[in-house]
Structure formats: structure tokens, C-alpha cells
Chains A and B, each alone.
Chain A
Amino acid sequence: MAGVAAGGHLKPQIQRTIAQRCKRHEITISAYAAAPNSSSFRDLNQHLHLRKRDQPNRGGLFRQICHRPNRGGLFRQICHSAYSFNTKAEMASKDDKDQRLATIASTIRVIPDFPKPGIIFQDITTLLLNPKAFKDTIDLFVERYRGKDISVVAGIEARGFIFGPPIALAIGAKFVPMRKPNRLPGEVISEEYSLEYGKDIMEMHVGAVQAGEHVLVIDDLIATGGSLCAAIRLLERVGAEVVECACVIELPELKGRDRLGDKPLFVLVNAA
């Protein structure tokens, strides 16, 4: 896999073909796959497994995701698009939002087989390397939550610590870190939660959040929803009201959204 430029050595015909296919489905490619040993479209086609998922969103937005598995040294290809069925009047601001979402999606790097074989890791560190994309990410959350009487932003260790504080500062809320055990120095309350194999514990400082406060919970990604549920339980145990959970990325196949029950979830990008 080392040293393969994205799409650079593919025959032009193959590159164009890929783009055309996606345009037919109104999907723009944000990252190209490279197939070092494929010189024909047919070869590429065998490795190409386009799977579209329509997931309706509040406000009439549909997202389509093209997903290609990683076999035989191929890079992963992610296509994102958001197109709206709203009226023309709303299209202008939607276009701007769509452009920002497209930029954000294109900066997320996918790393196969991390932390273990079979897992496709969504790496947001590459988003953080793009100042405009990072700013757009924060702006999209701030636009949604500003003026909504949210007094607490709770961020889940550790990548929630990267997105939470800028949002908290912009909307005038406190930032509360939700941490792994034995990291917080003062008196804490703890919540145990299940992992795929085994359990983990999440902690919050006693006194950080008061009863009746409106809270936004933030993390970089929702998978099964286990961490977010633990955070919600901790906050509700002290009498706070969790208004919404917000993530940059959702893995919809893992149904974390369902696990949150009646708590709404807002995400920027879907990944399969």
C-alpha cells in the first residue's frame, strides 16, 4: 500500500469512469481509491462494491454513501453527498451548508484494521489538520446550539475534548470532561458501561453540573452508543437534562442512534 498516489497511476479511462458512475447517482467523490494491480475497469469493478444507503434526516435531507471494502491493497473510497428536497428558497443556505459538510467529509481519513482487523477506523486527526474544515465543523455545531439555553457541554475523553471546548466557548457554556477512571482528581460519580468485549467506566466530577441544567454531550463519533449512553446516565443522575448528543461521525449500521432512546442525536457525516 505504501507510496500509492490516490488515483494517480490509474488509466485516465478508469478514473473518468469512476467519476461518471458516481455522477449518475449524484454523488461526488471526495477520495479516490487506488488499485495498484488493476489496469482495467473490469478488474477494478470486481473490487468495487458500491452500496448506497439512504438515510432520511430531519429537514428532508438525504445522504448517500458509497462504500468500498478494502481488499488486495486497495484504499477505501468514501463518497458523501447531501442533497435536499427543500424549496428553492432554502437551497441557498443549504448549498453553503452542504459545501461545508462535503469539505468536512473529505478530510476524514479512513484507516482499515485499526485497532484490530476488520475494524474501519474513522480518523478525525486529518480534519484537525485542515483549519477551514475544523472551523466549519465547530461552526455547524455552534449555529445549531447557540441561543438554545445550553449551559453545559460535556465532552467524552479524549476526542470529545477536542470538539467540546470550542463549542462551549462559542455558545457561552461550561465545559465538563467525562473521563476514564482515576483521571479526575476530585470527588466523582462513576458509570459502568459495556464494550464489545468487557466493560469500561466513565466518571464525572461531583458538582460540575447542577440539577436542571441543559446539557449537550459531544464526541467525535457514535458507534454502538455505549459511551454516549453512559454520559447521559451520569448527567441524569445529577438531575441535568440532556438536550442532545452531537457527533461529527455516525456509523449507522451499529444502530447507536436507537440505543440513545428518546435522546436526539445530531451528526454531520455518516460513514459505513
Chain B
Amino acid sequence: MFARENGLHGDPRLRGISEAIRVVPDFPKPGIMFQDITTLLLDRKAFKDSVDIFVDRYRDMNISVVAGVEARGFMFGPPIALAIGAKFVPLRKPKKLPGEVISENYVLEYGTDCLEMHVGAVQPGERALVIDDLVATGGTLSAAINLLERVGADVVECACVIGLPKIKEERRLNGKPLYILVEPRE
């Protein structure tokens, strides 16, 4: 599920991407080492490389939908969608999407949250890619998968720039393959 295990072992682009990510300790709360991709977005080559790696992987997979999770999924999803000729579908927090929506609740460490998608954005049978900047427990991505499957789409893969160790043991999420570029930095 990591890019280096999927034919990109030794690819120098991965190292550049990893080094462009900044670690911010104790954010949003003490004890958490936050993986900050905004510094990746400031590194033109590394940002382009991360998009190119995803595009190369998904270009010939007949994917017609790229679903990006708010808000950092919005930064990676659209360039990929544009390059592979797919639609971009934003998956948003409650009450942000203006039209008719379907909602999926999911569990956080403390409490629950909710992800929404527009009705009619995705048709049954469409092949979909879910994208976010980082996967930790997989709760958000699971909610995204559920939303897409509820409208009859076929989720081909979930793609993230960074994958936390918790997910490493799982390798798959809701039975869907995960594709991750880099591990978190210390």
C-alpha cells in the first residue's frame, strides 16, 4: 500500500515529498505530531511530483470520479481529476453543500462527525478514487467510501499523501485498497 512497495522503491521523488512535509508538535493538542502538508504546497517540485505519482497510477484505471475530503483533499484531488479527465466531487462537513445531500456519520476519538455528498454527483457504477492528505484511523475515509457505495459507485482505491502507523497493519480499509506516498516524519 505504500508507494515504495508498489514499484516506486528508490524513487527520489518520494524522498523530496517526505522532506517537504513539516512536523508541528503538539497540534491540535499536546502529544500529537501534526504532519503539515502546507510546506509541501510551497515546494513546487515536490507538490508537482506528488500529483504526478497519483496521476501516473490512476490515469489508465478508467476512473471517472475523484472524491476529495474537505479541506486538504481539495488541494490534491482537483489536479488529479483534471489530469485523468475525471469529475471532482467534494466531500464536505455538514451544511456546506447547498443542494440535496446524503450524510454519513463517523466516529472520532471523542464524539462523532459527519461527511456529506451531493445527491446526483456520482452515478451507480462509476469508478471512484477517494483522496485526502493523510490517513490516521481511517474513520473519515471509511465514511467517504460508505457515501460513494451508498449511491452505487465502485471505490477503486483510497489515496493519501501520508499514512500513519495505525493504518499500516490494516493495509485495506473497508476492503478497499489504500495507496500512500510516505510515512509520517518524526
Give A165 to B48 CA distance when docked, in angstroms.
Answer: 10
Q: Are A185 and B27 in contact (CB under 8 A)?
A: yes
Collect the chain A residues with CB atoms within 8 Å of residue B34's CB: 185
Question: Which of B38, B81, B86 has a CB less than 8 Å from the CB of A177?
Answer: B38
Give A135 to B95 CA distance when docked, in angstroms.
Answer: 27
Q: Are A176 and B42 in contact (CB under 8 A)?
A: yes
Q: Are A162 and B90 in contact (CB under 8 A)?
A: yes
Q: Are B90 and A128 in contact (CB under 8 A)?
A: yes
Q: Are B98 and A121 in contact (CB under 8 A)?
A: yes
Interface size on A, residues (CB 8 A): 39
Collect the chain A residues with CB atoms within 8 Å of residue B42's CB: 174-176, 208
Q: Are A186 and B22 in contact (CB under 8 A)?
A: yes
Collect the chain B residues with CB atoms within 8 Å of residue A169's CB: 44, 47-48, 51, 79
Q: Are B78 and A165 in contact (CB under 8 A)?
A: yes
Q: Are B86 and A131 in contact (CB under 8 A)?
A: yes
Question: Which of B24, B78, B87 has a CB less than 8 Å from the CB of A166?
Answer: B78
Give A175 to B34 CA distance when docked, in angstroms.
Answer: 20
Q: Are B87 and A129 in contact (CB under 8 A)?
A: yes
- Which one of B69-77, B142-150, B152-160, B175-183 is at the A interface? B69-77
| Secondary structure class of chain B's binding surface, majority of residues | mixed
Q: Are A131 and B82 in contact (CB under 8 A)?
A: yes
Write out, one digit per residue, whether chain A residues 199-236 have a CB within 8 A of any chain B CB (1) or not (0).
00000010010000000000000000000000000000
B47-97 residues at the A interface, CB under 8 angstroms: 47-48, 51, 70-72, 74-79, 81-82, 85-90, 92, 95-97
| Secondary structure class of chain A's binding surface, majority of residues | mixed
Collect the chain B residues with CB atoms within 8 Å of residue A94's CB: none
With A174-B41, A183-B71, A205-B38 as known contacts, state yes or no: A111 contacts B99, CB within 8 Å: yes
Give A157 to B72 CA distance when docked, in angstroms.
Answer: 10
Q: Are B22 and A175 in contact (CB under 8 A)?
A: no
Write out, one digit per residue, whether chain A residues 170-208 have a CB within 8 A of any chain B CB (1) or not (0).
001111110100111110000000000000000001001
With A123-B99, A177-B41, A205-B38 as known contacts, state yes or no: A162 contacts B85, CB within 8 Å: no
Q: Are B82 and A175 in contact (CB under 8 A)?
A: no
Give A51 to B48 CA distance when docked, in angstroms.
Answer: 45
Collect the chain B residues with CB atoms within 8 Å of residue A182's CB: 28
| A161 at the binding interface (Cβ < 8 Å) | yes
With A169-B51, A177-B75 as known contacts, state yes or no: A125 contacts B36, CB within 8 Å: no
| A158 at the binding interface (Cβ < 8 Å) | yes
| B107 at the binding interface (Cβ < 8 Å) | no
Give A174 to B36 CA distance when docked, in angstroms.
Answer: 15
Q: Are A134 and B81 in contact (CB under 8 A)?
A: yes
Q: Are B75 and A175 in contact (CB under 8 A)?
A: yes
Give A82 to B82 CA distance when docked, in angstroms.
Answer: 26
| A115 at the binding interface (Cβ < 8 Å) | yes
New A-B contacts (20) at CB < 8 Å, excluding given A161-B72, A185-B34, A186-B36: A109-B99, A115-B95, A123-B98, A125-B121, A128-B78, A128-B90, A129-B89, A134-B81, A134-B82, A158-B71, A162-B77, A164-B75, A165-B76, A166-B82, A168-B47, A169-B44, A173-B44, A175-B41, A175-B47, A186-B24
B: residues with CB less than 8 A from A are 22, 24, 27-28, 34, 36, 38, 41-44, 47-48, 51, 70-72, 74-79, 81-82, 85-90, 92, 95-99, 118, 121
Complex A-B: 5 CB contacts under 8 Å: A121-B98, A158-B71, A162-B90, A169-B47, A186-B24
